[in-house]
Amino acid sequence: MTSERPRSFLRNASEKVNAICEVGLFLTLTSMTLVTILQIVCRMWFKALTWSEEVTCFLLVFASFLGAAVAFKRGANIAVGFLLNSLPKPIKRAALIVIELLGIVFFGVTAWYGAALCYQERMQMASSMPVSMGWFYLVFPLTGAVTILHLVSHVEDLLLYDPDKEGA
């Protein structure tokens, strides 16, 4: 008998934010592809675009960080599962909680220093566009906060449910 877990506020928020991140990831990758194609076309038949390489680099960074946030939500981040699976259940649960808490600390530091970087670089302009670098660095605190939300939701699940049961 498997029962569906109740939908907590954290879990709902994590799933809704993740859905937005997945759409953002799709749009970012699509934009990166289109800008690259546009640059190739312009370079071959017209005048090369001065801003396209910088935009493509920024979009790649955005996609990487959004992809990492989505991966943490799905539990698809790199892990050494065979070691965890060999542990007794109580120790496995404690180890998983410690791992999630360490992730929260790491992404908290990333978000904090990312926000400081946004503020510090707000007057610096991108080299090929009249756009503040603060906007580009915003990816660090935003994805850091999103990943923390996912990890806190995971901790809640680990505290309330058996991680070895389906749907946990």
| Position 49 in a domain | yes
HSE-CB of 97 using CA atoms within 13 angstroms: 14
| Position 3 in a domain | no
| Position 13 in a domain | yes
| Position 143 in a domain | yes
| Position 86 in a domain | yes
Count helices and strands in the chain by DSSP H and E runs: 6, 0
Do 115 and 139 meet the contact criterion of CB atoms below 8 Å apart? no
The sign of the CA dihedral 53, 114, 105, 21 is negative
Q: Which two tokens stand for residue 112?
A: 């904090």
Q: Which two tokens stand for residue 108?
A: 């908290």
Q: Which of 48-52, 81-85, 87-91, 105-109 has the lowest mean pLDDT?
A: 81-85
By the 10 Å C-beta count (0-12 exposed, 13-18 middle, 19+ buried), 37 is classed as exposed
Q: What's the rounded mean pLDDT across residues 47-57? A: 89
Q: What's the rounded mean pLDDT across residues 131-159? A: 93
**Is the pLDDT at 106 greater than 90, yes or no?**
yes
The number of distinct structural domains making up the chain is 1
Higher pLDDT, residue 83 or 62: 62
| Position 1 in a domain | no
| Whole-number Å distance between alpha carbons of 145 and 148 | 5
Q: Which domain holds residue 46?
A: 9-160
Beta-bridge mates of residue 132: 125
Spatial neighbors of 168 by CB under 8 A, at least 6 apart, are 5, 157, 161, 162
| Position 110 in a domain | yes
Rounded to two decimals, what is the model's pTM? 0.84
